[in-house]
Structure 1
Amino acid sequence: MKQLLTLASTFLLSISPLFGLNIPDPLPKTTEPVEDILRLQIFLDAQLFGPGKLDGRPGEFTTKALKRYQSSHGMPETELADSNLDLSSVTELYTSYTIRQEDLKFVGELPRQPSEQSKKKYLPYDSLLEFLTERFHCAPELLEFLNKPMKMDSLKPGDVVKVPAVQPFLIEELTEIAKLPEVPEFQQRVIKIDTKEKLLGVWDGDKMLASLPITPGSGHLATPPGTWRILGITQMPTFRWDKSVLEYGVRSSTYYQLPIGPNNPVGVMWIGLNRPGIGIHGTNSPQSIGRSSSHGCMRTANWDVVRLVKLITKGMTVIIEGPPPAPRPVEVAKALPVAPPPAALPVQEQKRGFFTRLFGRK
């Protein structure tokens, strides 16, 4: 009898992912993950139906990712507690990572002011904790909870850290590429962006291949609705920081050229559109995706954008739906700066981060 009970228990555990999620009510304290939700988030993240940062907590983007995944696979849409996805492919929630000496190459001093950032050759992570949260797609609070009582602000090489079991984002594999090669077979795909829902979807005919949360612009700097086209994709771009562009959309002669790195304002990828100043790009603040506003572009997490570019190509159509930019008050509009005439860039400057310099808006 004891053997039968053990077998029955094992069977129920093996099929439990098919019976919806066990979400306690009330929820545990804020930093404690609900493991059924974390399992779902890890599953959706692996399918590139991004739930946002992994934290094991119910939230807007986890629910939206679930519903989009269900719809794309011909399943009825449900709320989290009623999810009937087969999550058995997520065989483990956690793994361990040993911090390496070479990881320190990507961590260092990060000045806050663009004037100081422009003097550096690379914009690194400001801590090993930030390095780990991006590498494993998660909230810092989750790592802090999982690794109690370890002090996450004093990590060092040799430390072993418990992390979510996801495909890691490998910053060390990214090199500067001014123009990623075209992929002709992707030309008929379409990116559809809903700025009100803060979602980006990649479509191949009637099939949604991926869905990601984004931070679009709003108000006077709302992301412009319309039908656009991808002009090119740059890996590890530089960024032309121009306060006038960021606040008014008008170039000035006062700007700072910011170097590459995970803390570059446009992250590790720039997908330029045929609307000057507008693109889809990575970010230096993945924890705020979907919870803030950009200056007109569409930000997504670095761990998402590096996978997104494997599904898209130059020349693809991008359809943006949402409210247009709000008109500025007349007195403000009259006071906007006047753009200076374009100046020719040196050949070396043209080759380095071309699309970022051309479009220049965060």
Structure 2
Amino acid sequence: MNTPAQGPSPEPSPSVRRAEPASDFTPVPNLTPAPANSATPSPTPVFANPALVPPTTPTVPGGNVSPTPTPNPNAPAQPWTPPVPQPTAALPGQTARPPRALPVSPQELITRLQIFLDQRNFGPGKIDGRWGEFTGKALIRYQVANGQKPTGQIDLQMQQELERIFPIYTTYTLAAEDLTRIDPELPSKPKDEAHLKVLNYRSIAEFLGERFHSDPEFIAKINKGVNLDKLKPGDSVRVPNVQPFQIETMKEVAHLPSNLQFVNRVVKVDTHYRMLDVFDGQKLICSFPITPGSKRLPAPIGTWKIVGISTLPWFRWDEAMLQHGQRSENYYNLPPGPRNPVGVVWIGLNKRGIGIHGTNSPDTIGRSASHGCIRLANWDAARVISEVTGGMTVQIF
């Protein structure tokens, strides 16, 4: 077996036993009002479609006015119609300005929303132009963080905020260096991966998807007629207008230095709603979707501490540890890279083998199980480490 000696070897596999909540554990603040007929608050309702709702009708003397009703999260999806832009009101003696153009399709409006949320560190999951579970959860969290009513709806106020996103798309020109990060022959078995120096992307489509926080199929869709995997240096493609995840700027660092100004922040991991939130006092500052363990190997419930953060980590692949939570001598040391099983980031907790980390399969975030750890898309994991530090509290519930 190939067992490289160099590099940190995090062990993201947990103990099988579920930890009991610590006595100082406090749950995450409720992010949405509880339904009237429910005894348990539901912090992140999921809507089948984004509801465009008009502002509450103003009170008219002598009239009976009903406020806009709260949507039922379990109601079936309704046909969706984009709003018609209205001319800007003119001052006396002036001509009304023409309406500002709004997106012409649901996909364009939802894409704009996803980009808006992503730019503000409220991750909607992968950008794909489709309304989904994590887009709704990110919107609610953004509204809470900004003192808005957490409707989870694209209402008039949100429409106005979305107008700030211009352009929706930008262009990216492929560099020769980018192609050095592509390995179409990347093996899938640990015994073969252990012989490599780096675990790179399998395709240009994968590279572009991760760089721009998107589903590779969405990148292909907005570049009709372009074969992404035949792109050459100098070729340009259309991509969502987000801050790119630049893996080339990441270095292999075993222990990032502490940032004392963050030490009193708290990471709250909601395993039921599959979201990771970072709080500074009572202020929610960022939020991202996660995969939180599995029924067989659940994430450890309780209050923990961050004991170390590493970037481009090595991974000690031990099947016994992954399957049963028991360390063995039959293992492989896997090199760093975006297709390392723990991705590009490892945030270790004071619970042996447990951490918050990236992934080699961003498409599965929130949609599959992990081995007891908290898994994020690499582009989100890279942002989380800019908001946390060693010594911080992590509450898992």
Could you say which TM-score interval applies, normalised by the shorter chain? 0.7 to 0.9
Say if 2:136 is the partner of 1:63. yes
Name structure 2 gaps, 5 residues minimum: 1-88
Alignment of 1:206-245 (within 5 A): 206-245=282-321
Query: What RMSD over aligned residues (CA atoms) do the two structures have, in Å?
Result: 1.7
Equivalent residue for 1:279, pick from 345, 355, 379: 355
**Cα distance in 1 between the residues matched to 2:365 and 2:156:** 24
Describe the SS at the equivalent of 2:163: coil
Alignment check: 8 A CA contact 2:137 2:152 kept:
no
Equivalent residue for 2:126, pick from 47, 50, 53: 53
**Bigger shift: 90-99 or 237-246?**
90-99
CA deviation after TM superposition for structure 1 residue 176, in Å:
0.7
Alignment of 1:4-19 (within 5 A): 8=96, 10-13=98-101
CA deviation after TM superposition for structure 1 residue 8, in Å:
4.9
Alignment of 1:314-333 (within 5 A): 314-321=390-397
TM-score, scaled to structure 2: 0.73
Describe the SS at the equivalent of 2:269: strand
CA deviation after TM superposition for structure 1 residue 11, in Å:
4.0
Cα offsets for 1:207-256 (capped at 9, x unmatched): 00000000111112010100000000001100000001110111011000
User: In structure 1, what is the equivalent of residue 42 of structure 2?
Assistant: none
Say if 2:329 is the partner of 1:256. no
Describe the SS at the equivalent of 1:141: helix
The one-letter code of the counterpart of 1:160 is S
Describe the SS at the equivalent of 2:197: coil
Alignment check: 8 A CA contact 2:121 2:286 kept:
yes
Describe the SS at the equivalent of 1:12: coil
**Bigger shift: 190-199 or 215-224?**
215-224
**Cα distance in 2 between the residues matched to 1:309 and 1:106:** 23
Equivalent residue for 2:187, pick from 107, 111, 115: 111
Say if 2:164 is the partner of 1:89. yes
Describe the SS at the equivalent of 2:347: strand
TM-score, scaled to structure 1: 0.80
**Cα distance in 2 between the residues matched to 1:58 and 1:103:** 31
**Cα distance in 2 between the residues matched to 1:284 and 1:60:** 21
Describe the SS at the equivalent of 2:292: coil
Residues 201 and 105 of structure 1, relative CA distance in 2, 3 Å threshold? same
Name structure 1 gaps, 5 residues minimum: 25-33, 322-362
**Cα distance in 2 between the residues matched to 1:268 and 1:140:** 19
CA deviation after TM superposition for structure 1 residue 99, in Å:
1.0
Alignment check: 8 A CA contact 1:289 1:301 kept:
yes
**Cα distance in 2 between the residues matched to 1:93 and 1:35:** 8
Alignment check: 8 A CA contact 1:49 1:65 kept:
yes
Equivalent residue for 1:203, pick from 279, 300, 310: 279
Cα offsets for 1:80-101 (capped at 9, x unmatched): 3436321232111111111111
Return the structure number with greater relative CO, CA threshold 8 A, min gap 6: 2
**Cα distance in 2 between the residues matched to 1:246 and 1:78:** 40
User: In structure 1, what is the equivalent of residue 110 of structure 2?
Assistant: 37
Alignment check: 8 A CA contact 1:49 1:211 kept:
yes
CA deviation after TM superposition for structure 1 residue 22, in Å:
7.5
User: In structure 1, what is the equivalent of residue 48 of structure 2?
Assistant: none
Alignment check: 8 A CA contact 1:190 1:316 kept:
yes
User: In structure 1, what is the equivalent of residue 173 of structure 2?
Assistant: 98
**Cα distance in 1 between the residues matched to 2:261 and 2:220:** 43
